[in-house]
Copies of this chain bind each other. A is one copy, B any other.
Amino acid sequence: MAQDTRERLLDQAESLFAERGFYGVSIAAIANELGLTKQALLHHFGSKAKLYGEVLKRISDRFDADSGHPHDDQHTAADALIAYLINLSDPAAFSPIATRVLMRELLDNRGRADTAGTWYLKGFLQDLIARVQKVPNWQTASDAEALTFIYQILGAINYFRISEPTLTGIFGQDDFGALEAAFPDQLERLIRAGLNAR
């Protein structure tokens, strides 16, 4: 029940940071949401910045756990890569809340000193580069070429995922449902076409 509070604070912080960003959320707001005072939060995390760091770290850990290679029962390198990327785009496999936090971090860490946040993406990206270079017609591709491709796909996925509120706002709930349903298939088609285009 004690450790539980810590975890619940992290959950709440992650969700609020996702919605309003680091500056948009006060530690009092996070704590109050659980019926606590902000000093309870400070007792657990020391400072707002440290809390934010722990939120980031927890996302990173979950991310790494997820990127174990469970899809390598596919027949070809291309199929394995595609399955992996499509899985990434699945809200059930990797929470849209975390995506939002990471996207904000991407926008923020231009100015901040506390850049360490997204650097852990390095291993993840390098892993993906290697996966691309296993695909037959990409074996001679440079790292830059492979990364550019990967980054375009990640962009397609993540941009869509943070746009849900805006797209429902513009086109309505029903039409957004249609978009969401069409997304995975079209994503697969795009990745496959992109891989073949080389």
What residues of chain A have their CB less than 8 Å away from a CB belonging to chain B?
19-24, 100, 103-104, 106-111, 115, 118-119, 121-122, 125, 142-145, 147-149, 151-160, 162-167, 169-171, 175, 178-179, 182-183, 186-187, 189-190, 192-194, 196-198
Contact = CB atoms under 8 A, between A and B. Distances in A.
A66 B156 CA distance: 23
State the oligomeric state as a number of copies.
2
B109 A165 contact: yes
Contacts of A198: 189
Given A19-B110, A103-B107, A190 B190 contact: yes
Contacts of A110: 19, 164-165
A22 to B, nearest CB: 7
Contacts of A193: 190, 193-194, 196-197
Given A162-B106, A169-B115, A193-B197, A182 B152 contact: no
A189 B190 CA distance: 11
Contacts of A175: 143-144
Contacts of A163: 106, 151
Contacts of A121: 166, 170
A193 B197 CA distance: 6
A158 B167 CA distance: 16
A73 to B, nearest CB: 25
Contacts of A104: 21, 104, 107
B24 A22 contact: yes
Given A21-B23, A107-B162, A152-B186, 14 more contacts: A19-B110, A19-B111, A21-B104, A23-B23, A104-B107, A106-B162, A118-B170, A122-B171, A144-B175, A147-B171, A156-B156, A189-B198, A193-B193, A193-B196
